[in-house]
Structure 1
Amino acid sequence: MNEILVLYYSRTGKVAQLARLVARGVEEIDGMRARLRSVPPVAPVTETAAPPEPDEGAPYATRADLRECVGLALGSPTRFGNMAAPLKHFLDTTSAEWASGSLVGKPAGVFTSTSTMHGGQETTLLSMMLPLLHQGMLIVGIPYTEIALNRTRGGGSPYGASHVAGTSGENPIDDDERLLARALGRRIAEIARRLGAGA
């Protein structure tokens, strides 16, 4: 069974919800499974070490998860138009994968959540693509053949899946945002499957 790593950081739970929807999309493709993983929070000063496993939610990712999977879906809330520090911190530890080329040629897509419509969704999605390009990954977006991309009034763009959570997180993930998150997962998994067939 080929696995797509769905790797994310979520502070309020919205990105975690998107991650589960992306994972559902992955598993709609025959022969593909999702491996859900998260990253621990970081702080300027650490008083205690994070436990090796979170109290709830997906296990913390290791670099082996990256190497073992045939594709990647990367998710983060936006922080001033950029990915959150915990996800960036994890990516900054992947120099060995860059040096060995272990991620080269694998498909990757991105997803995010913001509190407002113009809170930096597209810049955050683009910022997450940059380290993936340096790793030699193949960036996968959402094409306009996905009907929900043309009608969404919330999140979703050709750059990746997204959600507009509201300033207090009051907005549930709407139907179009759900469809687009699943579409992203399906697309990554389908491309990974096609690439594997040609290997």
Structure 2
Amino acid sequence: MSVNIIILYYSRHGATQALADALAEGILKAGGEPLLRTVTGAGDPASQRDLTINKDELKQCDGLILGSPVRFGHMASALQQFWEQTSISWLKGELEGKPAAVFTSGSSMHSGQESTLLAMGVPLLHHGMVLCGIPYTEPAIQQTVSGASPYGASHVEHGHGKQLTDHEYQAAVALGKRVTVVAEALKTAREQGTL
């Protein structure tokens, strides 16, 4: 059974998009179908490569991974604005019981990455999603000297530009796989009526 996982992100300079691509690889390796989507920013040029998400895609997905560059410890305003317009989906429970994860990129080690990851999880929890992190059994989490944490995939740009380190890449791929495996299990349980 194939599941479709939306990778919904905002990226201005390409670092968050590079993480999205690594997550997509993880989804593919786990047998899922990644759907890379973006949001349009208020005056900010967002990724021109991927399509803008529509609410029907949100309703039909089997899982979602949300990504943003760090904005003073919070997600980009374009993503915040998107979530503020999902009240109907929230009232209908369209995302309830589906897995989710988060990812971010920042310019330095102490740019607010962990608070951004935690803040991005809040609307997902309000929608009733099952939040997935990266466990410490993933070697990249224990070995990284830049991005990636138990809260989600991340990238530190300082000294690397938008190029992911090996550990950042490995952690993102692992998170993509994890969300896909959880999505398959939850979808099977729903179809069998055991959830």
Match of 1:77 in 2: 69
- Corresponding position: 1:93 with 2:85: yes
Write out the 4+ residue segments of structure 1 that deviate beyond 3 Å after TM superposition: none
* 1:155 positional shift: 0.2
Q: What amino acid does structure 1 have at the position aligned with 2:166?
A: D
Q: What amino acid does structure 1 have at the position aligned with 2:30?
A: I
% identity of equivalent residues: 44
Q: Alpha-carbon deviations, 1:157-198, whole Å to 9, x = none?
A: 00000000128x636210000000111100000000011121
* 1:100 positional shift: 0.3
For structure 2, list consecutive stretches of 5 or more residues without a partner in the other structure: 191-195
Q: Alpha-carbon deviations, 1:41-74, whole Å to 9, x = none?
A: 1149xxxxx9xxx883110011111111100000
- Corresponding position: 1:126 with 2:144: no
- Corresponding position: 1:18 with 2:19: yes
SS at match of 1:112: strand
**More helix, by proportion:** 2
Match of 1:182 in 2: 173
CA distance in 2: counterparts of 1:71 and 1:170, whole angstroms: 29
SS at match of 1:79: coil
Matches within 5 A, 1:1-199: 1-30=2-31, 32-43=32-43, 56-166=48-158, 170=161, 172-199=163-190
Q: What amino acid does structure 2 have at the position aligned with 1:99?
A: L
Q: Alpha-carbon deviations, 1:127-166, whole Å to 9, x = none?
A: 0000011000000000011011001001000000000012
CA distance in 2: counterparts of 1:16 and 1:166, whole angstroms: 16
TM-score (norm 1): 0.91
CA distance in 2: counterparts of 1:194 and 1:29, whole angstroms: 12
CA distance in 2: counterparts of 1:178 and 1:99, whole angstroms: 36
Q: 1:84 to 1:55 in 2, by over 3 A?
A: closer
Q: Alpha-carbon deviations, 1:102-140, whole Å to 9, x = none?
A: 000000000000000000000000000000110000000
CA distance in 2: counterparts of 1:91 and 1:42, whole angstroms: 15
Corresponding residue pairs, total: 189
Is the Cα contact below 8 Å between 2:18 and 2:162 reproduced in 1? Answer: no
For structure 1, list consecutive stretches of 5 or more residues without a partner in the other structure: 45-49
Q: 1:38 to 1:55 in 2, by over 3 A?
A: closer
SS at match of 1:27: helix
TM-score (norm 2): 0.93
